[in-house]
Structure 1
Amino acid sequence: MAAASALRRLTLALLLAGMALQAAAVPGLDSQQCALLKQHVLQPGAPVDCPQLQVVRFSYLDFDQVRHDDGEIMVMAAVAPQVKALFDELFKRRFPLARARLMEHYQGNDDASMADNNTSAFNDRPITGGGAVSLHAYGLAIDINPLQNPYVRRDAQGRLAYSPPAGQAFGERIAGRAGSSEQVVELFAQHGFLTWGGDWKKPIDYQHFQVSRKLAERLAKLPAPQARQLFESTVVAYRACRAGHGGKPKDRKVCAAAAG
């Protein structure tokens, strides 16, 4: 009984927080933003369209701990309140970001964005090295500090290859290094991004956080209010699992699999 009551309180608190955060996130794309997106990033046949996307604006600290108030990231509108809360928490923790610009600034070129050490989300493109659509094309994947958190694969000769190439300097993972994704894996999970590319074996994608593909496909098919409710329910389930409601606290990966 006590566990169930605690879970209900957690659910109510989270939903109320989500409602408050809706006012903080920027409204959906206007016609000018949509036209710009279609010119540079959004292609016909994409899994989502302009009405399903939202720009979240936030403040961040760079690697010199200088404040910037021009941070922007585009995500599916259903997850925007949680993304706003996530980046506000990164700011409170003084977690550095080199920059955060929309992919229109790079004409949707992921290599150019990574070379600029840009933190980003929505980009209508296939997965790196494959033909399937990326979770970025749903606005449900976030890449942070690509230089400090490179994408790592083996080339045809079996040698390690890094994206961006300068990320090779950060291939050896050092605990506590400024801007490293390892420090914020749990924070991203607490806000619904339950999958971290650093857990993968090949390729390894240290910069990358996402929801599951199954959840992404469900969210893309739902009207905005229902999509937001579904996403919030995964956040509630993950947090309850980690907190141990109804039993002992469980491992991050176990809770991620159960929630999303």
Structure 2
Amino acid sequence: MTLIEALNGTLAPDNIRLQMVLLSIPYWGFDEQEHVGQLVVCNDLANEVREIFRIIFEAKFPIEKMIPISKYNWSDERSTDDNNSSAFNYRPIHLTNRLSIHSFGRAIDINPMQNPYIAIDGSVHPETSTYNPLQPGTILDGDIVVRTFEQFGWEWGGRWTDRKDYQHFQKNEVHS
């Protein structure tokens, strides 16, 4: 997929779209084979995202799939139900009208079926997902995935106290 295809149909304004880049990312699959997926991220994060996923790949942490969310017609629900790992998606935060940090290409979700979002009301998304630390592809506090993202200054949603977003890593923009 090209960057134009990966951004096709987004409602993001030009000033955001022009900051996005399409990365080809090697990853270790659930089938114990090497695959190459794609992530759309903010251009200022491209090099560190490549390095983070290089480390995760070398550790053979399994990822189901990694496809730009445009393939799912910008439906976060369809993407997460398919256990797709993704980054850029111009959309609001669940149950709010505020833009998600995914809207700026500054967040990545990994294996949502193994690493669900658990809302304040206790609802689980994707609905059929479960957080089972024994299941391959599950992100755990202190594991190679969390340590690597945090080493680069990213925040893990599994540490949040009001809700849990085990699939989610984000890096806020640094203002000088």
- TM-score normalised by the chain length of structure 1: 0.61
- CA shift in 2, pair 1:189/1:211, >3 Å: same
Unaligned runs of 5+ residues in structure 1 are: 1-31, 219-229, 231-260
Give the drift of 1:35: 6.6
| CA displacement at 1:90 relative to structure 2 | 1.0
State the structure with more CA Rg: 1
Quick one: which of 112, 117, 128 aligns to 2:94? 128
2:68 corresponds to? 102
SS at match of 2:66: coil
Q: Does 1:67 align with 2:34?
A: yes
Q: Check whether the contact 2:6–2:68 (CA below 8 A) recurs between aligned residues.
A: no
- TM superposition outliers: structure 1 runs of 4+ over 3 Å: 32-36
Residue 116 of structure 1 pairs with residue 82 of structure 2: yes
Per-residue CA distance 1:71-127 (angstroms, 9 max, x = gap): 100100001000011111111000000000001101111001100101110110111
CA distance in 1, matches of 2:114, 2:17: 31
Q: Which residue of 2 aligns with 1:43?
A: 12
Alpha-carbon separation, structure 2, partners of 1:81 and 1:151 = 27
1:82, 1:192 within 8 Å by CA — same for their partners in 2? no
Indicate how the Cα distance of structure 1 residues 35 and 64 shifts in structure 2: closer, same or farther if over 3 A, else same. closer
Identical positions, percent: 35
| Distance in 1 between residues matched to 2:48 and 2:120, nearest whole Å | 34
The count of aligned residue pairs is 173
Give the CA deviation at 1:154. Answer: 4.4
**Structure whose residues are more often helix by fraction:** 1
Name the residue aligned to 1:211: 171
Decide which structure has greater strand share: 2
Q: CA RMSD in A?
A: 2.2
2:125 and 2:54 map into 1 onto residues whose CA distance is 27
What is the identity, as a one-letter code, of the residue corresponding to 1:55?
L
TM-score (norm 2): 0.88
The aligned residue for residue 166 of structure 1 is: 128
Alignment of 1:172-211 (within 5 A): 173-174=132-133, 177-182=135-140, 183=143, 184-193=145-154, 195-211=155-171
Alpha-carbon separation, structure 2, partners of 1:72 and 1:58: 6
